[in-house]
Amino acid sequence: MAARERYATDNSHWATMKAELRHTMWQLLMQQGAVRFPGAHSRIPNFPGADRAAHLLRKLAVWRKAQVVKVNLDAPQLSVRRAALADGTVDTVVSTFTLCTISGVVQAIREIARVLKPDGTLIFFELGCSPDSQVRHWQARLEPIYRWLFRGLYLTRDIPALITQGGFGIAQLEAAYIAAFPKSTTYCWWGIAIPHAR
Protein backbone atom coordinates (compact mmCIF):
# COMPACT_ATOMS: atom_id res chain seq x y z
CA MET A 1 0.00 0.00 0.00
CA ALA A 2 1.39 3.39 -0.95
CA ALA A 3 2.22 5.80 1.88
CA ARG A 4 -0.46 8.22 0.69
CA GLU A 5 -3.16 5.51 0.73
CA ARG A 6 -2.02 4.29 4.17
CA TYR A 7 -2.18 7.87 5.52
CA ALA A 8 -5.68 8.37 4.10
CA THR A 9 -6.82 5.09 5.69
CA ASP A 10 -5.15 5.93 9.03
CA ASN A 11 -6.55 9.46 8.94
CA SER A 12 -10.06 8.14 8.34
CA HIS A 13 -9.67 5.73 11.26
CA TRP A 14 -8.53 8.55 13.56
CA ALA A 15 -11.34 10.82 12.41
CA THR A 16 -13.87 8.09 13.24
CA MET A 17 -12.30 7.50 16.66
CA LYS A 18 -12.24 11.24 17.36
CA ALA A 19 -15.91 11.59 16.43
CA GLU A 20 -16.87 8.62 18.64
CA LEU A 21 -14.85 10.00 21.56
CA ARG A 22 -16.44 13.44 21.21
CA HIS A 23 -19.91 11.90 21.12
CA THR A 24 -19.15 9.84 24.24
CA MET A 25 -17.81 12.90 26.09
CA TRP A 26 -20.80 15.02 25.11
CA GLN A 27 -23.16 12.28 26.34
CA LEU A 28 -21.28 12.00 29.67
CA LEU A 29 -21.30 15.75 30.18
CA MET A 30 -25.05 15.89 29.52
CA GLN A 31 -25.77 12.92 31.82
CA GLN A 32 -23.74 14.44 34.64
CA GLY A 33 -25.43 17.84 34.28
CA ALA A 34 -22.02 19.42 33.76
CA VAL A 35 -23.04 21.73 30.93
CA ARG A 36 -25.05 24.91 30.70
CA PHE A 37 -27.22 26.15 27.85
CA PRO A 38 -27.20 25.39 24.92
CA GLY A 39 -25.85 21.90 25.64
CA ALA A 40 -22.77 19.98 24.64
CA HIS A 41 -23.25 18.50 21.17
CA SER A 42 -21.17 19.89 18.28
CA ARG A 43 -19.51 22.64 20.32
CA ILE A 44 -17.18 23.32 23.20
CA PRO A 45 -19.66 22.83 26.03
CA ASN A 46 -20.51 25.70 28.32
CA PHE A 47 -19.73 24.39 31.78
CA PRO A 48 -20.26 25.80 35.30
CA GLY A 49 -16.54 26.30 35.97
CA ALA A 50 -15.78 28.21 32.75
CA ASP A 51 -15.32 31.59 34.46
CA ARG A 52 -13.04 30.10 37.11
CA ALA A 53 -11.03 28.29 34.42
CA ALA A 54 -10.54 31.58 32.55
CA HIS A 55 -9.39 33.25 35.78
CA LEU A 56 -6.83 30.49 36.37
CA LEU A 57 -5.70 30.64 32.74
CA ARG A 58 -4.78 34.32 33.17
CA LYS A 59 -2.39 33.38 36.01
CA LEU A 60 -0.26 31.13 33.80
CA ALA A 61 3.15 32.44 32.74
CA VAL A 62 2.49 31.46 29.13
CA TRP A 63 -0.66 33.64 29.15
CA ARG A 64 1.18 36.65 30.56
CA LYS A 65 3.95 36.31 27.94
CA ALA A 66 1.61 35.73 24.97
CA GLN A 67 1.68 38.23 22.11
CA VAL A 68 -1.34 36.65 20.40
CA VAL A 69 -4.25 34.75 21.92
CA LYS A 70 -6.64 32.70 19.77
CA VAL A 71 -10.07 32.41 21.38
CA ASN A 72 -13.11 30.59 20.00
CA LEU A 73 -16.56 32.14 19.92
CA ASP A 74 -18.01 29.34 22.07
CA ALA A 75 -19.78 30.53 25.24
CA PRO A 76 -17.34 29.02 27.78
CA GLN A 77 -14.55 31.16 26.34
CA LEU A 78 -16.35 34.48 26.85
CA SER A 79 -14.29 35.22 29.97
CA VAL A 80 -11.11 34.35 28.07
CA ARG A 81 -12.08 36.75 25.27
CA ARG A 82 -12.67 39.50 27.81
CA ALA A 83 -9.31 38.85 29.42
CA ALA A 84 -7.53 38.81 26.05
CA LEU A 85 -8.89 42.27 25.34
CA ALA A 86 -7.52 43.91 28.45
CA ASP A 87 -8.62 47.32 29.67
CA GLY A 88 -7.25 50.19 27.61
CA THR A 89 -5.40 48.18 24.94
CA VAL A 90 -7.24 49.02 21.70
CA ASP A 91 -6.70 52.15 19.57
CA THR A 92 -9.87 52.14 17.46
CA VAL A 93 -13.11 50.19 17.22
CA VAL A 94 -15.19 50.42 14.04
CA SER A 95 -18.88 49.54 14.26
CA THR A 96 -20.96 49.31 11.10
CA PHE A 97 -24.58 48.17 11.36
CA THR A 98 -23.79 46.39 14.63
CA LEU A 99 -25.23 48.58 17.37
CA CYS A 100 -28.56 48.52 15.51
CA THR A 101 -28.68 44.71 15.53
CA ILE A 102 -27.26 43.24 18.73
CA SER A 103 -29.08 42.65 22.00
CA GLY A 104 -27.45 44.04 25.14
CA VAL A 105 -26.26 47.03 23.15
CA VAL A 106 -25.40 49.28 26.12
CA GLN A 107 -23.30 46.53 27.73
CA ALA A 108 -21.52 46.00 24.40
CA ILE A 109 -20.78 49.72 24.15
CA ARG A 110 -19.42 49.68 27.72
CA GLU A 111 -17.13 46.80 26.72
CA ILE A 112 -15.89 48.88 23.78
CA ALA A 113 -15.18 51.75 26.18
CA ARG A 114 -13.38 49.34 28.52
CA VAL A 115 -10.97 48.02 25.88
CA LEU A 116 -10.23 51.38 24.24
CA LYS A 117 -7.16 53.37 25.22
CA PRO A 118 -7.98 56.71 26.90
CA ASP A 119 -7.31 58.48 23.61
CA GLY A 120 -8.97 55.72 21.55
CA THR A 121 -11.93 56.23 19.25
CA LEU A 122 -15.15 54.52 18.31
CA ILE A 123 -16.04 55.08 14.67
CA PHE A 124 -19.63 54.14 13.91
CA PHE A 125 -22.12 53.95 11.06
CA GLU A 126 -25.50 52.71 12.27
CA LEU A 127 -29.15 52.55 11.31
CA GLY A 128 -31.42 54.34 13.77
CA CYS A 129 -34.58 56.18 14.63
CA SER A 130 -35.64 59.00 12.37
CA PRO A 131 -36.34 62.52 13.66
CA ASP A 132 -39.53 62.55 11.52
CA SER A 133 -42.53 61.38 13.61
CA GLN A 134 -44.31 59.76 10.64
CA VAL A 135 -41.20 57.77 9.74
CA ARG A 136 -40.70 56.80 13.42
CA HIS A 137 -44.32 55.53 13.45
CA TRP A 138 -43.53 53.22 10.52
CA GLN A 139 -40.22 52.20 12.06
CA ALA A 140 -42.04 51.11 15.22
CA ARG A 141 -44.63 49.16 13.20
CA LEU A 142 -42.04 47.46 10.99
CA GLU A 143 -39.43 46.74 13.68
CA PRO A 144 -40.88 43.38 14.85
CA ILE A 145 -40.92 42.15 11.24
CA TYR A 146 -37.38 43.36 10.58
CA ARG A 147 -36.13 41.86 13.85
CA TRP A 148 -37.54 38.51 12.75
CA LEU A 149 -36.39 38.74 9.13
CA PHE A 150 -32.88 39.97 9.87
CA ARG A 151 -32.35 38.30 13.25
CA GLY A 152 -32.35 41.34 15.46
CA LEU A 153 -32.46 44.50 13.34
CA TYR A 154 -33.78 47.40 15.44
CA LEU A 155 -35.12 50.38 13.50
CA THR A 156 -35.96 52.60 16.49
CA ARG A 157 -32.69 52.84 18.38
CA ASP A 158 -31.37 56.28 19.28
CA ILE A 159 -27.76 55.47 18.51
CA PRO A 160 -26.15 58.68 19.88
CA ALA A 161 -28.07 58.31 23.17
CA LEU A 162 -27.01 54.65 23.49
CA ILE A 163 -23.36 55.52 22.78
CA THR A 164 -23.49 58.25 25.44
CA GLN A 165 -25.18 55.88 27.89
CA GLY A 166 -22.40 53.37 27.19
CA GLY A 167 -19.69 55.73 28.43
CA PHE A 168 -18.75 57.88 25.45
CA GLY A 169 -18.83 61.49 24.43
CA ILE A 170 -19.78 62.19 20.82
CA ALA A 171 -16.93 64.03 19.10
CA GLN A 172 -18.44 64.14 15.61
CA LEU A 173 -21.94 63.23 14.45
CA GLU A 174 -23.85 63.28 11.19
CA ALA A 175 -27.20 61.76 10.26
CA ALA A 176 -29.31 61.49 7.12
CA TYR A 177 -31.47 59.24 5.01
CA ILE A 178 -29.02 57.29 2.88
CA ALA A 179 -31.75 56.48 0.33
CA ALA A 180 -35.01 58.16 -0.62
CA PHE A 181 -37.12 55.04 -0.10
CA PRO A 182 -38.04 53.42 2.19
CA LYS A 183 -37.26 56.08 4.77
CA SER A 184 -38.13 53.71 7.62
CA THR A 185 -35.02 51.62 6.92
CA THR A 186 -32.56 54.19 5.61
CA TYR A 187 -32.01 56.73 8.40
CA CYS A 188 -28.41 56.41 9.59
CA TRP A 189 -26.09 57.99 12.12
CA TRP A 190 -22.32 58.12 11.65
CA GLY A 191 -19.52 59.70 13.54
CA ILE A 192 -16.76 59.41 16.11
CA ALA A 193 -17.06 58.91 19.84
CA ILE A 194 -14.42 59.18 22.57
CA PRO A 195 -14.60 57.22 25.84
CA HIS A 196 -15.15 59.25 29.01
CA ALA A 197 -12.16 59.37 31.36
CA ARG A 198 -11.98 56.31 33.60
CA triple 134-136-142, angle to 5 deg: 110
Q: How confident is the model at residue 73 (pLDDT cuts 50, 70, 90)?
A: low
The 10s digit of each residue's pLDDT in 133-171 is 999 999 999 999 999 988 889 999 999 999 999 999 999
The 10s digit of each residue's pLDDT in 91-130 is 899 999 999 998 899 999 999 999 899 999 999 999 999 9
Pairs from 79-82 (Cβ < 8 Å, separation ≥ 24): 79/50, 79/51, 79/53, 79/54, 79/55, 80/54, 82/54, 82/111
- pTM confidence score: 0.67
